[in-house]
Amino acid sequence: MKRTSIIILLLLICNSASAQLFTKEKIKNQENFDKQLLTWGYFLGFNSYDFKFEYEQDLKDIHVQTNVGFNVGLIGDLRINEYFNLRFEPGLYISQRNLQYDESYFEGMSFNQSDLLREVKSTYIHFPLLLKASTKRINNFKPFLVGGFSTALNLSSNEDNPDDNSAGQFRTKKGMFFYEVGFGVDLYLEWFKFTPSIRGIFAINDELVIDSDIDSPWTGNVATMKTRGVFVNFTFQ
């Protein structure tokens, strides 16, 4: 995801927040919404996944081309007190990353241009458990921080495929674990609560499945390959 898109989104959030913060309007929308023990909703959004590589030897980095993906899911929110909520946000996250290898990885070997590129498509069923820490509500505006841990099942994983990169198959693991941190703002509209938020996600475990050949040009120099990314979600409750 391009940095300019994130900057534009931040400016829109700040503009909306400042309008809510400094308005003289005293009428509160959805005044009793946050007093409920349990609330439900759904979210739509987009993502940009990346990989963080650690290498065995000091060769040229594997270049990761990121793409904008799509998010959709449900929300269950448990009120702890006025400032803290526990949230469960299961969702479907679809993304694609392209790995571009330098020709130096294939030194002394015959190769095609197609060998330098690997497409990594991921379809994650994502299960985050998050703690939301909010400020005191000001009119119809309430910012918050959020963080927690999550697990995900990659439906596009080919971990069990006996073929590897020698047959054109770049393999990733099915099960992943992450920690997440982010921020957002609750906007209380007349009929519902609307929440734009931004969250960073960082893998705890290695996602790469090593090729059978320990000297494979695709995986032989990779010590770890961990997912990281940015989510931008728009929540409706």
Neighbours of 15 (CB within 10 A): 10
Query: What is the sign of the dihedral through the CA atoms of 148, 142, 76 and 83?
Result: positive
Q: Residue 158 pLDDT more than 70?
A: yes
Instruction: Lowest mean pLDDT of 39-48, 58-67, 194-203, name the range.
Output: 58-67
- Distances from the Cα of 161 to the Cα of 105, 211, 223, angstroms: 24, 11, 21
Asked if pLDDT for residue 155 goes beyond 90, the answer is: yes
Query: Is the confidence at residue 21, as pLDDT, over 50?
Result: no
Q: Is 7 left (phi over 0), alpha (psi -120 to 50) or beta?
A: alpha
Distances (CA, A) of 148 to 131, 164, 174, 189: 6, 34, 21, 27
pLDDT at 3 over 90: no
- In this structure, of 26-30, 111-115, 219-223, the range with the lowest mean pLDDT score is 26-30
- To which residue do tokens 């899911």 refer? 73
Which pLDDT value is given to residue 13? 53
Number of domains in the chain: 1
pLDDT of 12: 52
Contact indicator for 163, 135 with CB cutoff of 8 Å: no
Residue found by looking up tokens 């929308």 in the block: 29
Mean pLDDT confidence for 124-128: 96
| pLDDT confidence tier of residue 15, bands split at 50, 70 and 90 | low
Two tokens at 71?
């998010």
Name which residue leads in pLDDT, 84 or 160: 84
CATH of the domain at 178: 2.40.160.20
Phi, psi for residue 174 in degrees, rounded to 5: -75, -45
Beta strand 91-100 with 63-66 is: antiparallel
Q: What is the mean pLDDT of residues 139-146?
A: 94
Answer yes or no: are the C-beta atoms of 222 and 206 closer than 8 Å.
no
Give CA–CA dist 4/1, Å, rounded: 8
- pLDDT, residue 39, reads 93
Type of residue at 180: E
Q: How far apart are alpha carbons 70 and 124 in whole angstroms? A: 11
Task: Tell me the residue type at 10.
Answer: L
| Two structure tokens written together for 231 | 């989510």
What average pLDDT does the structure give for the chain? 88
Residues pairing with 41 in the sheet: 75
User: What's the CA gap between 96 and 159, in Å, rounded?
Assistant: 17
Domain with 188, as residue range(s), is: 3-25+32-236
